[in-house]
Amino acid sequence: MITKSLRWIAQQVNGELTGSDAMVTKVTTDTRELQKGDLYIALKGERFNGHDFVQTAEKEGACAIIASEPVETSLSVIQVADTKLALGLLGKAVKDCVNPKTIAITGSSGKTTVKEMCAAILSRRGAVLATKGNFNNDIGVPLTLLELKQEHEYAVLELGANHLGEIAYTTDLVKPDVATIVNAAASHLEGFGSLFGVARAKSEIFKGLTQHGVAIVNADSQFAPFWLGKLKQRKVKQFSPTEYNATADFYAKDISLSLDGCAEFLLCTPDGEIDIRLALPGQHNIGNAMLAAALTMEVGATLEDIQDGLANMSQVKGRLNVKQIAPHIRLLDDSYNANVASVNAAIDLLSSFSGRRILVLGDMAELGQKSRYYHEQVGLYAKEKGIDNLMTIGVLSQTASAVFGEAGIHHTRTEDLLQSLEATLAAEFRDITLLVKGSRSARMEDVAAAIEASSLGKRNRRRERVAC
């Protein structure tokens, strides 16, 4: 954080300072991470109250406290009406001081990948602050803004939500120069009520645009007309997540996939065309790259920045990772999270590989009353795309394996799934690709780790030696 005084902070958060003034360089809401000299904000939630830890904060060396309740401490205190709102106001004030060119991204899936693509591109031009991990809600966004320092020329912020109004709040803090909705799909339906509710909630991101801000719209989305109707007084550009679309300003031509599943294509933009080679696998990342190009060009990136950034970016932590666990077995670990759109995109990637293709699917969470229907649709889509086997684990995903047919097998334990995989692959000499996918609550990362550590690879290597 940029260095500011307690007196300045009190003014920004509409608080009253009691005690002596001091300079602050860092803010925290967690006493477990607190370092000497930090300002501690005592947040309150349904299941916790940060005011209970004020004594701990003082013991750990905090310089002051922001509180909404009376607290016993010898430290300086900034008293406010609501500490969560104070956190937001402080984050907004710091952002206004640094004033970086700012991109805001939301969507049902893909927003983290687009964020990382934008950061990789803009890092060719200057210092970039990008959202870390899942710090994309009404607490995480202001905490991210508080990480801004004077040297940051760009900020790329991911905004998530599970209910109406959350993105409106965080976008008002961020005030982006350019904003987008990657897509709107069946996700968090328990909080939004319907698919249209998702689209409406995501559209809140455009309300916080600066006066001359630009909205980037997915031209292929079924909700594009709805979003464009809200943007009649705004500057708008459109991208196509597939190939050429007559209404799109950004689109791709001459698309091909390499053996590692990474796409190569000609990127077409209002400023010209350039060849792109992606470092991330999956045809769905073509659309993500289109969007990243559109967003970053609005804040000054060149075609060469885009080409270089996309070609050399690192794997996105926690997202799709391709691992060769044995000479003939490839593991696509996409276990971080799942909704219908992201699962279908992963199935598209799986279908692009040769040999036997096996989908290992866990439950997709927060899909509301139509959960079983959406799992059924995923099972049918996997069958339509020619996936050889669908192995499911969990309660809801059983619907997917049931509609898949004979090659769909349901399991209740990871151990049973591993035995089933080994039996299925016992006499298999072709290349094998396993895709592991599911919501975070399904803990599919544990399933992926179990597959990687299992005897599948050892058995495959033994067969290879015998064949030689």
Residue stretches of the annotated binding site: 107-113
What is the residue whose two structure tokens read 């599948």? Answer: 456
Give every CB contact of residue 321 below 8 A, 6+ residues apart in sequence: 315, 332, 333, 334
d(CA 450, CA 318): 16
Beta strands in 25-96 (DSSP E): 27-28, 39-41, 64-67, 76-79
Q: Which is nearest to 411 in space by CA: 431, 395, 434, 435?
A: 395
364 in Cβ contact with 438 (< 8 Å): yes
d(CA 299, CA 101): 6
Binding site members for ATP? 107-113
Residue 458 CA to chain centroid, in angstroms? 34
Helix (H, G, I), strand (E, B) or coil at 87: helix
Helix (H, G, I), strand (E, B) or coil at 125: coil
- CA dist 363 → 118, 139, 319, 436, 442 (Å): 30, 27, 17, 11, 6
48 in Cβ contact with 60 (< 8 Å): no
220 in Cβ contact with 240 (< 8 Å): yes
d(CA 108, CA 186): 8
Query: Tokens representing 125?
Result: 């031009």
128 in Cβ contact with 116 (< 8 Å): no
d(CA 41, CA 28): 6
